[in-house]
Amino acid sequence: MLPRLLLLICAPLCEPAGLLLIVSPSHPTEGSPVTLTCKMPSLRSSDAQFQFCFFRDARALGPGWSSSPKLQIANMWKEDSGSYWCEAQTIASKVLRSWRSQINVHRVPVADVSLETQPPGGQVMEGDRLVLICSVAMGTGNITFLWYKGAIGLNLQTKTQRSLTAEYEIPAARENDAEQYYCVAENGYGPRPSGLVSITVRIPVSRPILMLKAPRAQAVVGDVLKLHCEALRGSHPILYWFYHEDVILGSSSAPSGGGASFNISLTAEHSGNYSCEANNGLGAQRSEEVTLNFTGRRSTRDPLRSLPSPVPQEFPYLNSPTPGQLQPTYENEPREQSVAVHGRQQHSSEQKAQKPWGHIWRIRFP
């Protein structure tokens, strides 16, 4: 109670008398420690024990009155700037006050803003967590961090905190998250942007589709049969392998979309099951098997069925026929024809009835 009473009456009674406030360092920067020392040059060891108290703008600091002539402030911030002084007193003496000292805390502008990713390198698997880490090499006080996506600068998030780093998280990366990103940091001295960082979302291949195509409606021994394999999803490049009865025929790489093809010259030994495999380093996927059967000479009552188009009117490898060679147009053929969709075959005349022919493609040779 007595120290509080002395504080109330100190304003009219206290006078600076041999009491000094020492500030170290005298020009602090934000985040740095400061030591305040209340020094009495005339104090002798035989003098009575003094109590000390430190003030800023009429507010007592720290624990209030204590026997220590020093006060340690762990971190000084911009808002801690102000007028400081100290007081000392004993029960038997009047309160002594130091001269006021103006302390200005200096803020360090942000500099060297950078954007990093986790996982490193800017590559992330589809569905995995992606973190964009915005950092500054220096800067004090409250720093505002902002994250942007794309060249137009779509703002994703804003955070303000007393830290040199901040994070923006994408819990599960998707294909449309593949883009360029950058961040901005500022603490009152103007925004400072980072450089651009490109994010690549790696997508495993989907199950590929195997499509077969002959150069003419009535294929004969020696004709070239094209095997086309395509995975509709997956990061490129994609390596495709072609199989006949699980024996590798060959491989082909697709650096971009559209799949890959492999050609064989038809012989009677090419009857059997065909499949293909797609692999982009994130896991392999195998297609359904397609069965190719060779039968005897066709009769007039059993017209040759044309080879199917996997997706009517959309097969990307319907090349123009060469001179003297009939190129079947599967989607417009007036006679009976077959259509394969993901390994299933149907008569065009039976499509409305939805009666499948299964996975067998028949090519008849004269």
> Is residue 36 within 8 Å of residue 70, measured between CB atoms?
yes
State whether 134 and 193 are in the same domain.
yes
Let me know whether 187 and 212 are in one domain: no
pLDDT value for 233? 93
- Tell which phi-psi region holds residue 334, choosing left (phi > 0), alpha (psi between -120 and 50) or beta: alpha
Q: What is residue 110's DSSP assignment?
A: P
Q: Quick check: is 319 in a domain?
A: no
Structural domain includes residue 149:
yes
Query: 294 in helix, strand or coil?
Result: strand
Could you tell me the CATH number of the domain that includes residue 254?
A: 2.60.40.10
Ordered per-residue pLDDT tens for the chain, 366 residues = 334 433 433 443 454 457 899 999 989 999 899 999 998 876 554 456 888 999 999 899 988 899 899 999 999 999 999 999 999 987 777 788 999 999 999 999 999 999 999 999 999 999 999 999 999 999 999 999 999 999 788 999 999 999 999 999 999 999 999 999 999 999 999 999 999 999 999 999 999 999 988 777 666 788 888 999 999 999 999 999 999 999 999 999 998 888 999 999 988 888 889 999 999 999 999 999 998 776 554 333 434 333 444 433 333 333 333 333 333 333 323 333 333 333 333 333 333 333 333 344 444 434
Pair 248, 278 in one domain: yes
Asked if residue 188 is part of any domain, the answer here is yes
- The last residue of a domain, from among 202, 218, 240: 202
What is the CA 112 to chain-centroid distance, rounded? 22
Question: Would you call the peptide bond into 33 cis, given omega within 30 degrees of 0 as the criterion?
Answer: no
Range of the domain at 214: 208-292
163 and 87 inside one domain: no
Residues 195 and 218 in one domain: no
> Is 301 contained in some domain?
no
Pair 31, 70 in one domain? yes
Strand 82-89 to 96-97 pairing:
antiparallel
Please check whether residues 136 and 167 belong to one and the same domain.
yes
Assigned domain for 30 exists: yes
Same domain, 167 and 193: yes
My answer on whether 226 and 288 are in the same domain is yes
Position 300 scores a pLDDT of: 39
pLDDT score at 309: 41
**Structural domain contains residue 262:** yes
Q: Pick from 292, 322, 347: which residue ends a domain?
A: 292
Residue 307 lies in a domain: no
Distance CA 278, CA 335 (A): 35
Whether residue 118 sits in one domain with residue 83: no
Last residue of a domain, which of 140, 172, 202? 202
Query: Do 68 and 148 reside in the same domain of the chain?
Result: no
Q: Is residue 231 part of a domain?
A: yes
Helix ranges, the chain (H): 2-13
From CA 114, how far away is CA 135, in angstroms rounded?
5
CB atoms within 10 A of CB 196: 13
Domain count, the chain: 3
Instruction: Indicate if 131 and 184 belong to the same structural domain.
Output: yes
